[in-house]
Structure 1
Amino acid sequence: MAIYQDKLTPFGAKSKPAFITSGFKNWKKAFEKFKAHENSHTHRHAVSVTAQESHPINAQLSSALATQQGDNRHCLEKIVSSIKYLARQGQALRGHGDDDSNLYQLLKNLAEDDALLVKWLLRSQKEYLSPQIQNEILCSMSNSIVSEIADTIRNLPIFEFAIIMDGTQDISGKEQESICLHYIDSDMKPHEEFIGLYSVSETTGKSLAAVVKDVLFKLNLPMHGLRGQTYDGAANMSGKHAGAQALIKQEQPLALFVHCGAHCTNLIAQKACLASVLNRDSLDWVNQLGVLFSQSGKFKAIHAATAHTEIPSCTAIKPLCPTRWAVRSKAIRDVLSQYGSVLASLQEMASGASNTASTANGLLGQFRKGKTVLGLILASPVIDELECLSISFQRKPLLE
């Protein structure tokens, strides 16, 4: 048994030295002696008070636990703030490995001035940086933001709002419905707030109407405050009898249905471009030229070298997006301003033996025709007007 030379307590001075200084040796009577010592005043005093009377063991353990919890809370706050920053900037949290992720590298940068965070990052187990915890934190942030939006709408002087819904398929082929809420605040400023994406098993009017009602129920937004609903022109959305808008109107007749302005603009632009065969074909050739430019690095290099001899700086030729009409006017201008270099690049590309030589040869034949140039010249002012219309619908001041 270990021998201690610490300062003896008043009780310890009168106790047997076997348990304090000289050590216990009479092991034949160990149980008897231990029991007697356990009931002695010296042992009771040592257990209840300990050698450090101002800091008992239980208090030391509680203090250490509180310190550890405070340190962990500090590091968790740093993790949450880092995730919030990356999410706000639209940056990915993860990387090829845990130590290469944007989140971990951002925490390492913050740890340069934070000793606690440095010590925490050196731990072998980083459970608070796992993908599951990241998703849980992001989900909590999302729920907090959506709840705040719902609280704002409920506290409006005049409880009125509208709903906007549109659907599309994600990369896995599942139908996702995006839902936004539109409301006017007390300063008469309009707001459109994205609430979330909701998966649906079918896209019937009944199913879509059920999604709208379910979302409003979860946000505690009573149906009697709904004053508007905006969808596209599909039958399952805008149908007079079985569409989602008709089924919602049965419960709330004041929910006026309005065909989405952006969708109407898209339909108008499509019809305007398809009305003339000359314009339609010319725009299609520009689109195919943009596809060739984006997919063939060789053609891109040929065009850059050819255009550099004619103009100081060449411009990339991009394909036409079927829904983003605000980029079509620029694409047409880029082709018309570099028409000579486009022809020269297509001719050089068509003379090669690559798989895209036939595509380049076909495009060369079309762009050599005068009607292609005429179609682009005639389509340009029309597309410019449609672009102004699209931009006016998307302009931010309209939502402020």
Structure 2
Amino acid sequence: MENLDYNNESGSNPKRTRIEVDVANLPTDPGLRIKICNYHPNERDQIRRHYLQNKPCQPVDHDFPQSQFGKTKRRFNLVWFKDYPSWLEHSITKDAAYCLFCYLFRPDTGDQGGGDSFVTEGFRNWKKKEKLQNHVGDHNSAHNIAQRKCEALLNQRQSIQTVINKQSDVEKREYRTRLNASMDCICFLLRQGLAFRGHDESKDSNNQGNFLELLRFLANHNEEIDKAVLENAPENHQMTSPDIQKEIANAAAVETINAIIKDIGDSLFAIIVDESRDMSTKEQMAIALRYVDKLGHVNERFLGITHVNNTSAVTLKSAIEEVFNKHSLSISRLRGQGYDGASNMRDNPSAYYVYCFAHQLQLTLVAVAKNHIQIATFFNLVAKVFNIVGASCKRHDILREKRNAEVIEALKNNEISTGRGLNQEMSLKRPGNTRWSSHYGALVNIIHMFSSVIDVIETIIEDGLDSDQRAEANILIGLLQTFEFVFDLHLMKGVLGKSNELSQALQRKDQDIVNAMKLVDISKQRLQEVSAFCAKNNIDVPDMDDFYQPRPRRKAQNMKNSHHYQVELFYTFSALKGIGQLAEKMVEMKKNVSYPLVYSLVTLALILPVATATVERAFSAMNIIKNRLRNRIGDQWMNDCLVTYIEKDIFKTIECEEIMQRFQNMKNRRGQLSKIS
């Protein structure tokens, strides 16, 4: 936003274009904010409400730096947040303290209460805590006057507009019913990822959109709602406008994110980041957090999506820092970063970088396999099958008909069994080098549909459009009907099938890096088909400092007897499967309190990201929310829809009243909510 001083006293009144403020993207860090007087007067109250609703910026898990004061080093004391919870803020960028109340409403009273120290310049004199209490002052201090103005702003019942348009209890109840109905419809659509708007939302339109149609359906089945919504509501207060829809969705998304941030608490976490273009070719960066909650469960939660102008390291880092500041997350709690090949982000020496194992596995398998000339030739033939058989809708229909006829014939001959989920309609799956398990899926479908594919190619040989097309099909069918091709087909299907289980396991949200490495070892053993045998040894009492020798002897590991008997056997006796269950068991038995360092090590291993599956799924959801018909949806609107759609399990736990109160406090509303009966 342009920095405009609307309170200048120079006498000049330049005509300037008013720039609408994007409230959702206002800077959270108090050191980065502009003066409240620099905003347009008509927007100041909305901005004030935004900051008051989001509470003071208090990065409680930040590692505050030390500053030199004479011979002593001092820093901001975390306890001060507890002493002054309602107004004290801290800027990570400037390492300074600020007052939220004074920033929003401080009158011009000179140096009273510290002047601009807690508003624009920031307070840094950490050795004098008494300055904080001096800033608060007495009852009539500038700080307390500002605080009372903040409280009055949030109390809409005392606003001038409310006094002028004083409502009866009946009107308040109708307003609550109307708002609640709109909110229920919007929340339902958000969870389903459905579109809201129609092409024409006028009263007589047959294409009003999902929201209005759902609201009308709800009214038709509830007499109380029917009396308060749509045609029975005041014409200029129906709570159905596009702005109302977006504000309710934003309130729902904010409450969902707040629930996630609360669940994280002061835990360590890792971030998973990826970038992709949306339907309107805008570069979008998705961020997810991986952490261990208070019960010891591993979680990956989608935090949001943000538009970036480019994918350079500086731009991405700046966008990540802005997201962290927005949600009061401290980078000092960051212990892992997962990127899908974004090597330009390797600029934080204190963090571990784990690339997406599933992507690496897919790329490695394809690259290694194609190094063999016979296998490379085989995959080229597979590509030609897809290009020729899948070249037109007509050929797709022929393939489908041939496959259906084949299934019916097999059922008649009792060659295949019937049952729920069996014999589903199939099609050829085109493989992609960066799509997980796509090569395996492609080969499986070719095997199941082999005879149907041959039939389609024979049809092309007979009815092709020209001689070149018929000749190409004739060459291809000759290559497919050879022992070499069929052998390579089944060989690669078996090899990729063994690794496919690993790929699927790596994409689980609760997968941990220790278990992932074990799965890699198991897959290697299955692929290599190696077995080790050994003669039995006499049972001796082992020295705990000696290296453990397993019986029967297999490949030696750098593991001492003490580790085997105290750690590995602990897993067995406790019926634990990996460190994920170990963390849960420690919390259940309160061992995380008795052995905090051990629990910290376990959680550190658990939060290291294994795959970028969560953000990949976010991009799949983005293509649902922002599709070809909705390619003009704004970034904030899309982000709110994505958060509530992807994290619907968290969204479902949010009380409707919480969303309603946040919506109500976004700005001065014409309607006032009645008390909950």
**Residues 53-64 of structure 1 mapped to structure 2, 5 A cutoff:** none
Please say if 1:265 is aligned against 2:350. no
Partner of 1:140: 251
Structure 2: which amino acid aligns with 1:366?
A: L
The one-letter code sitting in structure 1 at the alignment partner of 2:375 is N
Q: Is the 8 A contact 1:231 1:259 kept in 2?
A: yes
Instruction: Decide whether the 8 Å contact of 1:290 with 1:320 is kept in 2.
Output: no
Structure 2 counterpart of 1:362: 472
Matched, 1:245 2:346: yes
Q: Which amino acid aligns with 1:305?
A: E
Q: CA deviation at 1:191?
A: 0.7
Corresponding residue number in structure 2 for 1:70:
173
Find out whether 1:303 has 2:399 as its counterpart.
yes
Offset at residue 268 of structure 1 (A):
2.0
Q: Give the CA deviation at 1:321.
A: 4.0
Distance apart, 1:392 and its partner CA: 0.6
SS of the residue 1:257 aligns to: coil
Corresponding residue number in structure 2 for 1:122: 231
Partner of 2:420: none
Distance 1:85 1:293, change over 3 A: farther
Q: For 2:346, give the aligned amino acid.
A: Q
CA 1:285 to 1:115, structure 2 compared with 1: closer, same or farther past 3 Å? Answer: farther
Give 1:192's aligned residue. Answer: 300
Query: Displacement of 1:109 after TM fit?
Result: 2.5
Aligned counterparts of 2:487 and 2:393: Cα–Cα separation in 1 = 29
**Partner of 1:278 in structure 2?**
374
Instruction: Determine if the alignment matches structure 1 residue 344 to structure 2 residue 455.
Output: yes
| SS at structure 2 position matched to 1:256 | coil
TM-superposed deviation, 1:178: 0.9
- The structure-2 alpha-carbon separation of the partners of 1:176 and 1:343, relative to structure 1 and needing over 3 Å to count, comes to same
CA RMSD in angstroms, aligned pairs only: 3.1
CA contact (8 A) 1:282 1:373 kept: no
Which deviates further from its counterpart, 136-145 or 220-229? Answer: 136-145
112-121 or 165-174, larger mean C-alpha shift: 112-121
> Would the aligned equivalents of 1:164 and 1:229 in 2 still touch at CA under 8 Å?
yes
Moved more, 115-124 or 197-206: 115-124
Higher helix share: 1
Q: How many residues align?
A: 324
The CA deviation at 1:175 is 1.7
1:67/1:209 CA distance change after superposition, 3 Å: same
Relative to structure 1, is the Cα distance of residues 305 and 173 closer, same or farther in structure 2, using a 3 angstrom cutoff?
closer
Residues 364 and 214 of structure 1: is their aligned pair in 2 closer, same or farther, counting only changes over 3 Å? farther
**Native 8 Å contact 1:162 1:182 kept in 2:** yes
Once the two structures are overlaid, the 10-residue window that deviates more, 112-121 or 304-313, is 304-313
Rounded to whole Å, the distance in 2 between the matches of 1:359 and 1:387 is 35
The separation in 2 between residues aligned to 1:318 and 1:164, in whole angstroms, is 29
1:188 alignment partner AA: G
Q: Which moves more between the two structures, 273-282 or 212-221? A: 273-282
Q: Structure 1 vs Structure 2: percent identity of aligned residues?
A: 26
CA distance in 1, matches of 2:241, 2:461: 52
SS at match of 2:287: strand
Matched, 1:229 2:345: no
Alpha carbons of structure 1 residues 97 and 293: separation in structure 2 relative to 1, 3 Å: farther
Instruction: Identify the residue that residue 150 of structure 1 maps to in structure 2.
Output: 261
TM-score w.r.t. length of structure 1: 0.71
SS in structure 1 of the partner of residue 195 of structure 2: coil
Question: Residue 506 of structure 2 aligns to which amino acid in structure 1?
Answer: F
CA contact (8 A) 2:287 2:303 kept: yes
Change (3 A) 1:262 1:325: closer
Secondary structure, aligned partner of 1:347? helix
Q: Distance in 1 between matches of 2:390 and 2:196?
A: 29
Deviations 1:212-260 (A, max 9, x none): 2221111111222111111133431xxxxxxx232x33xxx2x222223
Describe the SS at the equivalent of 1:333: helix
- Which of 479, 496, 499 aligns to 1:386? It is 499
Q: 1:133 to 1:235 in 2, by over 3 A?
A: same
Match of 1:45 in 2: none
* Alignment deviations for residues 152-204 of structure 1 (CA, whole Å, 9 cap, x no partner): 22x34xx3111111112222222211111111112211111111111112222
Task: Give the letter aligned to residue 261 of structure 1.
Answer: F
* Inter-partner Cα distance in structure 1 for 2:370 and 2:200: 49
Structure 1 residues 223 and 391 mapped into 2: Cα distance closer, same or farther (>3 Å)? same
Distance 1:205 1:308, change over 3 A: closer
CA displacement at 1:285 relative to structure 2: 4.1
CA deviation string 1:110-137 (max 9, x = no partner) = 2233224324223566863333332332
Partner amino acid for 2:494? P
Does structure 2 retain, via aligned residues, the 8 Å contact 1:162–1:181?
A: yes
Give 1:379's aligned amino acid: M
For residues 91 and 364 of structure 1, what CA distance do their matches in structure 2 show? Answer: 47
1:15-26 correspondence to structure 2 within 5 Å: none
The superposition leaves residues 51-77 of structure 1 with CA deviations (integer Å, 9 ceiling, x where unpaired) of xxxxxxxxxx98864322321221211
**Structure 1 CA distance for aligned equivalents of residues 247 and 468 of structure 2:** 52
Structure 2: gaps of 5 or more residues? 1-163, 202-206, 409-422, 513-579, 581-677
Question: What SS does structure 1 have at the residue aligned with 2:456?
Answer: helix
The offset of 1:320, in angstroms, is 2.1
- Please say if residues 430 and 438 of structure 2, whose CA atoms lie closer than 8 Å, have aligned partners that are also in contact: no
Q: Which one of the candidate residues 184, 194, 205 is aligned to 1:81?
A: 184
- Residues 1:101 and 1:281: Cα distance change in structure 2 (over 3 Å): farther
| CA 263–327 in structure 1, closer or farther in 2 if over 3 Å, else same | closer
Measured in 1, the distance between the counterparts of 2:251 and 2:474 equals 56
Is the 1:163–1:182 Cα contact (8 Å) retained in structure 2?
Answer: yes
Q: Does structure 1 conserve the Cα–Cα contact (< 8 Å) formed by 2:185 and 2:215?
A: yes
Structure 2 residue matching 1:216: 3-state secondary structure: helix
- Higher RCO (CA < 8 A, seq sep 6+): 2
The CA distance in 2 between the partners of 1:143 and 1:277, in whole Å, is 55
